[in-house]
A = this chain, B = another copy of it.
Amino acid sequence: MRTTAARQASLREHNLGLVLGHVVDAVTRGRTPSRADVAAATGLTRATVSALVDRLVAGGLLAELDPVQTQRAGRPAVPLTMPARTVAALGAEINVDYLGARVVDLSGDVVAERVDAGDFRASDPREVLARWAALAEAVLAEAGASDTGTSDVGTTSGAGPTRIAGAALALPGIVDRGTGPLRTAPNLGWRDVDVLALLADLSPTLSPTLAAHPPRLANEADLAARAESAARTAGADERPSFVYVSGEIGIGAAVVVDGRIFGGLRGWAGELGQTLVGDRRLEEVAGQDAMLRAAGLEPSGGMAALGTAARAGDERAAAAVCDAGTLLGTALANTVNLVDVSHVVLGGAFAAVADLVAAPVLAALERHVLAAPWAPPSVDAAVAGELPAMTGAALAVLADVVADPAAWLADDAPRVSG
């Protein structure tokens, strides 16, 4: 709901965001628009767009490429893109089997990344967070991140250090939207953990860069869905809508409508694993452990082993996958009826067996979704890369910068002038 008075500065801020957003959008679709293109697409005049683009370039949020030889008559256009390694964000994750951190810049490149395997079931939050912080430090150092952008280097893009816009941390549990405490992460055995306070305790041992950017916390499935959404925006005309199924041991989900994640009132939405099927929770009967048990396989092998077994003709494995798929499909049919998003994306633990699970899930959807005749359900494997929640976390931070570049430029200004 609109709540702030619009003064003339708001106008500028709005159009600044509009221009940047348009370029970002075009670039993710593989184009590199010129100022004139942006003007035509947004409805602003070339004069206005030029002024705004100049400001964005000065602030390191856009970069000009060399004019490309075109076949057309007329002065060649200056293509615009997101600059590499000028502005980046730290995306991180703590999950049951691993923790990791990744620095992604505005252009979408992974600047640095580190992942640490482990078993964090029933772990001590303080220990794990210390371990994570050390990892994050290493990744930031590798990225050449600097918090204060000693910008007396003066040259164009690429020369300055990579500046960190912020950090986000994905957790497999319910967290308040933003910075609230972690309420519960059943599979970590964490409950009412004030992650930010614990990190603040570590503060003396942290680099200024990490200390200056306390991570915003969010649910792992929500952030993975964000990465998936970005990946699917790439080629497409419209922003994607889908139900993303995630989770390693438990089953999480996120509902994406038109590229926006539906977080509910506090950001706790998407607890699909808690759905009751019969008298048991979905993640008890269709989660990774349940599937492996039903297939008679060692838990250590993971989903990959289950997939290969089932594909190799192991009937018990195939049945386990199929049964889980049917249960999952039923829960998803309820979900689709409730939220009106008829495309399901299988991520997390289900990604590895997506080819096997898709059929029973789809069958359940087609059978039980009221709107199926008018909006045929579909089931897909996730297309975002490995550890999508980490990417999504970084993207969440960068999206905020893109949404309100004026705030970023304002932060920037004193450092440039100083």
Q: How large is the interface on A (under 10, 10 to 19, 20 to 34, 35 or more residues)?
A: 35 or more
Residues on B with C-beta less than 8 A from A213 are none
Do A338 and B6 form a contact, CB below 8 Å, given A11-B11, A262-B262, A264-B257?
Answer: no
Q: Which of A319-351 contact B (CB under 8 A)?
A: 330-331, 333-335, 337-342
Contact with B along A390-414 (1 / 0, CB 8 A): 0000000000000000000000000
A275 to chain B, nearest CB (A): 5
In the bound assembly, the distance between CA atoms of A259 and B1 in angstroms comes to 10
Q: Which of A1-36 contact B (CB under 8 A)?
A: 1-8, 10-11, 14-15, 17-18, 21
Q: Which of A259-274 contact B (CB under 8 A)?
A: 259, 262-272, 274
Would you call A198 an interface residue if the criterion is a C-beta within 8 Å of the partner chain's C-beta atoms?
Answer: no
Decide: B340 and A265 in contact? CB cutoff 8 A: yes
A333 to chain B, nearest CB (A): 7
Residues on B with C-beta less than 8 A from A265 are 241, 257-258, 340-342, 375
| SS of A interface (majority) | loop
In the bound assembly, the distance between CA atoms of A275 and B44 in angstroms comes to 48
Copies in the complex: 2
Interface locus among A84-92, A151-159, A285-293, A366-374: A366-374
Decide: B2 and A18 in contact? CB cutoff 8 A: yes
Q: Which residue of B lies closest to A333 (CB)?
A: B276
Q: Which residue of B lies closest to A335 (CB)?
A: B338
Residues on B with C-beta less than 8 A from A342 are 265
Decide: B257 and A44 in contact? CB cutoff 8 A: no
In the bound assembly, the distance between CA atoms of A7 and B368 in angstroms comes to 48
Residues on B with C-beta less than 8 A from A370 are 174, 184, 186, 268, 271, 274
Decide: B275 and A337 in contact? CB cutoff 8 A: yes
A-B pairs with beta carbons under 8 Å apart, 8 shown:
A1-B259, A5-B15, A257-B265, A271-B370, A272-B338, A274-B337, A338-B338, A339-B339
Decide: B275 and A338 in contact? CB cutoff 8 A: yes
Would you call A43 an interface residue if the criterion is a C-beta within 8 Å of the partner chain's C-beta atoms?
Answer: yes
In the bound assembly, the distance between CA atoms of A321 and B131 in angstroms comes to 54
Would you call A118 an interface residue if the criterion is a C-beta within 8 Å of the partner chain's C-beta atoms?
Answer: no
Would you call A150 an interface residue if the criterion is a C-beta within 8 Å of the partner chain's C-beta atoms?
Answer: no
Would you call A55 an interface residue if the criterion is a C-beta within 8 Å of the partner chain's C-beta atoms?
Answer: no
Would you call A42 an interface residue if the criterion is a C-beta within 8 Å of the partner chain's C-beta atoms?
Answer: yes
Q: Which residue of B lies closest to A267 (CB)?
A: B340
Do A340 and B6 form a contact, CB below 8 Å, given A274-B370, A330-B276, A368-B274?
Answer: no
Contact with B along A165-199 (1 / 0, CB 8 A): 00000000010000000011010000000000000
Residues on B with C-beta less than 8 A from A301 are none
Would you call A278 an interface residue if the criterion is a C-beta within 8 Å of the partner chain's C-beta atoms?
Answer: yes
In the bound assembly, the distance between CA atoms of A271 and B339 in angstroms comes to 8
Do A17 and B42 form a contact, CB below 8 Å, given A262-B262, A339-B264, A340-B269?
Answer: no
A163 to chain B, nearest CB (A): 25
Q: Which residue of B lies closest to A270 (CB)?
A: B338
Interface centre among A255, A272, A334, A341 (most CB of B within 10 A): A334
Residues on B with C-beta less than 8 A from A17 are 2
Q: Which residue of B lies closest to A49 (CB)?
A: B5
11 more CB-based (< 8 A) A-B contacts, given A2-B17, A5-B42, A334-B334: A11-B11, A174-B371, A183-B373, A264-B339, A265-B375, A268-B371, A268-B375, A269-B340, A274-B337, A278-B278, A338-B339
Residues on B with C-beta less than 8 A from A8 are 8, 11
In the bound assembly, the distance between CA atoms of A278 and B277 in angstroms comes to 7
Interface centre among A174, A264, A341 (most CB of B within 10 A): A264
Decide: B11 and A269 in contact? CB cutoff 8 A: no
Q: Which residue of B lies closest to A239 (CB)?
A: B1
Do A269 and B368 form a contact, CB below 8 Å, given A2-B14, A6-B14, A21-B2?
Answer: no
Decide: A375 and B266 in contact? CB cutoff 8 A: yes
In the bound assembly, the distance between CA atoms of A259 and B43 in angstroms comes to 32
